[in-house]
Amino acid sequence: MHARPPTSTPRLRTVAVVTNRRCNQACTFCLERSDAEDPSATGAHEIARRLREAAASGAEEICLTGGEPSLRRDLPLLVAGARKLGVKRVVLETNGALIDRERANALARAGLDKARVHLSGWGSSLDAVTRDPGGFEASSAGVVALLEAGIEIEIVSVITRSTKPLLTSMPGQIVRSWPGVRALVLVVPREAADPTEVLPLGEAAAVALEIEAAARAVELPTALHPRSSMTPCLFDARARPHHWFSLPEVADRDGRIRVPACEACDVASRCGGLPIDSPDAALELHPVRGEKARRRLTLVGSVEEQISRELVSPNLTMVGGESVYEEIVRTSFRCNQACRFCFVSTHLPAPPDEAVRKAIISAASRGARVTLSGGEPTLNPKLPEYLALARQLSPHPVQLQTNAVRLDDRGLVDALVAAGLEEAFVSLHGATPEISDAVTEAPGTFVRTVAGIDNLVAAGVRVTLNFVVCKTNLGELVPLVRLVAGRWPKVELSISFVAPSTDLVPRDPALVPRYAEALPVIAEAVSLAASSGVRITGFESMCGLPLCLVPGSLAPYAEIADLPAGFDRGEFVKPEGCERCVLERKCYGLRRGYAEMHGTSELRPLDHTGVISSQP
């Protein structure tokens, strides 16, 4: 019944294999095209040899590129040959203009996983850039054929002086015309066949950011091509697209230079600096400052890897006094609040629709309770569809984890209830607008969350409020119990404790108090809840407390199921003495991040049964 947590997929090692140099288009910026082929370099036997070398080198992804590979009549044979070598993924880079339905199906049968279609603008005006009359229409037909053949599609757009006016409408047009496209990948070249096509770096960054904003508005994921040589400091901190960058290692500085602004940057050691040809007096830089920004930029090797890692989280939860296995599926990563203790990579684009559906189906097929979460799941317009799917397949009621800000719209609540919503786990981190909005860093949202809770309760949804104890809101816990008792007497209150559970959560004593500081307030809240008829939950969860510190009687925790071995995913530690505790098998212990900050001396293992109490 208990599944192991999802394991992350290692970053794919990609090797590009050039199949030819000729191209049916002649883009003004392209440096790869040639009018003639070298038969010794592009013969079938030579390409097969390079494919074998790529696989032998440890490549996990082989990318067939050119010129234009679809000029080769044997392209499906090359794809099949690459697939037989055992690589995880075969990718084709193409302009798509020569691919019709028959060819797309042949490529799919050969084993092509993905096509990166180069399309640097929308509409017939692009034909002047590609110097291929009718090229845009032909490429568009190629995209449709590839999608219909079941091949994953990314659109690759190059930002140059000529394409700049053609690109800002791209995201909306892509989503309306080809909803199956997975991502828009932006390329910012520093060289071009026509040097006047290269934009100054600051101007190119502004165009890229404008495209990203348009893509975000229609939920189209974007990525920055590695050849783009852009750096995080080109973007203002408030608008910086963190998901475009990955700086986990010390950077290669070939072709790069340092500038004075680098001295003030917190990722300078991991960033190679600016392209050597880019600095000018007008270039405005925004050095990366702050621990959270640094961590966002140094977490993982790729956006896809991080999405895969965070898409599903296994969990054990208490339902009706019984331990139930659930899988938390993230339908989105963005959020309309910005709590400092949030451990979700809210800078990531939305996960692919297909991946969300597969995760729901997979969880339900194992009999798991399905919980839909985020970021903020109500930001995904497909949430009612996901709820309906989970409700249809899962043997348990489906839970929604939300901050309820958007649920101040009763129409949205009614739509979710109609789709099958029965339970909601609502984040509310204060009893007053001043403190709640300070914790969430989203002014005006406390009022909207309260209205959303009102709507959920009125619609008959079972609501549990989740209050994360941190330094800022510690004084709000007791008033929140009073608020719940007076306004929502049937609502339960889950008490969580802030913890540096991922590198996104700062190890800051101003955020993470010691247990000794918080426990008297928690004990007062528990006592008030008992006298007010408010049910308190959550202490036994991953986000709760070490069980030996829970205020009041611990007898109920002796009855809960033992934790499966390894279920803590290595995130917790148990100091010496815990092995003697009567609740050792039922308790997660201490978060590693908390132990690193505050030590382990506050724990007091319990060595007797009967009426178990945490009181000294």
DSSP per-residue letters across 513-563: --HHHHHHHHHHHHHHHHHHTPPEE-TTSTTS--GGG-SSB-GGGGGSPPP
If you average pLDDT over residues 302-310, what whole number do you get? 80
Residue 355 to residue 358: CA distance in whole angstroms: 5
Domain boundary, last residue among 247, 275, 298:
298
**Spacing of C-alpha 58 from chain mean position:** 27
If you average pLDDT over residues 62-66, what whole number do you get? 94
**2 in any annotated domain:** no
Q: Are residues 426 and 534 in the same domain?
A: yes
**559 in any annotated domain:** yes
Q: Mean pLDDT check: name the lowest of 6-15, 150-159, 495-504, 518-527.
A: 6-15
If you average pLDDT over residues 120-134, what whole number do you get? 96
Domain boundary, last residue among 269, 298, 327:
298
What the block records as the tokens of 387 is 């709820």
Please tell me the predicted confidence (pLDDT) of residue 253: 64
Domain boundary, last residue among 205, 230, 255:
230
**Is the Cα torsion angle 432, 435, 440, 445 positive or negative in sign?**
positive
Please tell me the predicted confidence (pLDDT) of residue 615: 41
**107 in any annotated domain:** yes
pLDDT-above-70 percentage for the chain: 93
**Is the Cα torsion angle 110, 114, 120, 126 positive or negative in sign?**
positive
The pairing of beta strand 114-118 with beta strand 322-330: unpaired
Please tell me the predicted confidence (pLDDT) of residue 5: 31
Q: Are residues 396 and 533 in the same domain?
A: yes
Please tell me the predicted confidence (pLDDT) of residue 298: 67
Q: Are residues 434 and 499 in the same domain?
A: yes
**478 in any annotated domain:** yes
Higher pLDDT, 610 or 181: 181
Q: Are residues 286 and 311 in the same domain?
A: no
Torsion of CA 584, 587, 589, 594, to 10 degrees: -160
Q: Are residues 145 and 263 in the same domain?
A: no
**1 in any annotated domain:** no
Total domain count, the chain: 4
User: What is the band of 600 on the pLDDT scale with cuts at 50, 70, 90?
Assistant: very high
Residue 314: domain span: 307-545
Please tell me the predicted confidence (pLDDT) of residue 1: 28
Please tell me the predicted confidence (pLDDT) of residue 227: 74
User: What is the band of 613 on the pLDDT scale with cuts at 50, 70, 90?
Assistant: very low
Please tell me the predicted confidence (pLDDT) of residue 138: 98
| Residue 105, CA distances (Å) to 61, 113, 138, 151 in order | 21, 12, 17, 9
If you average pLDDT over residues 561-570, what whole number do you get? 84
What the block records as the tokens of 83 is 């697939």
Residue 539 to residue 587: CA distance in whole angstroms: 10
**pLDDT tens per residue, range 22-32:** 999 999 999 98
Residue 4 CB partners (closer than 8 Å, separation 6+) = 314, 566
**pLDDT tens per residue, range 307-338:** 888 999 988 887 776 778 899 999 999 899 98
User: What is the band of 10 on the pLDDT scale with cuts at 50, 70, 90?
Assistant: very low
Q: Are residues 77 and 209 in the same domain?
A: yes
**5 in any annotated domain:** no
Determine what percent of the chain falls in helix, strand and coil, rounding each to the nearest 5.
Answer: 40, 15, 45
Q: Are residues 579 and 498 in the same domain?
A: no
Please tell me the predicted confidence (pLDDT) of residue 190: 87
Q: Are residues 514 and 566 in the same domain?
A: no
Q: Are residues 214 and 226 in the same domain?
A: yes
Q: Are residues 111 and 25 in the same domain?
A: yes
pLDDT tops 70 at residue 113: yes
Higher pLDDT, 234 or 613: 234
Residue 261 to residue 285: CA distance in whole angstroms: 7
**pLDDT tens per residue, range 448-467:** 999 999 999 999 999 999 99
Please tell me the predicted confidence (pLDDT) of residue 107: 98
Please tell me the predicted confidence (pLDDT) of residue 4: 30
Q: Are residues 318 and 261 in the same domain?
A: no
What the block records as the tokens of 514 is 């010691």
**391 in any annotated domain:** yes
Please tell me the predicted confidence (pLDDT) of residue 301: 54
pLDDT tops 90 at residue 484: yes
**pLDDT tens per residue, range 255-299:** 788 888 888 898 887 887 888 776 666 788 999 888 677 767 765
**Spacing of C-alpha 425 from chain mean position:** 20
Residue 344 to residue 229: CA distance in whole angstroms: 27
pLDDT tops 60 at residue 525: yes
pLDDT tops 80 at residue 549: yes
Q: Reduced to 3 states, what is the DSSP secondary structure of residue 494?
A: strand
**102 in any annotated domain:** yes
Q: What is the mean pLDDT of the chain?
A: 89
pLDDT tops 60 at residue 12: no
Please tell me the predicted confidence (pLDDT) of residue 441: 92
Please tell me the predicted confidence (pLDDT) of residue 521: 97
**pLDDT tens per residue, range 184-214:** 999 999 889 999 999 999 999 999 999 999 9
Identify the CATH number of the domain in which residue 404 sits: 3.20.20.70
Closest of 213, 132, 121 to residue 167, by C-alpha: 121
In degrees rounded to 5, what are phi and psi of residue 26? -140, 65
Q: Are residues 100 and 221 in the same domain?
A: yes
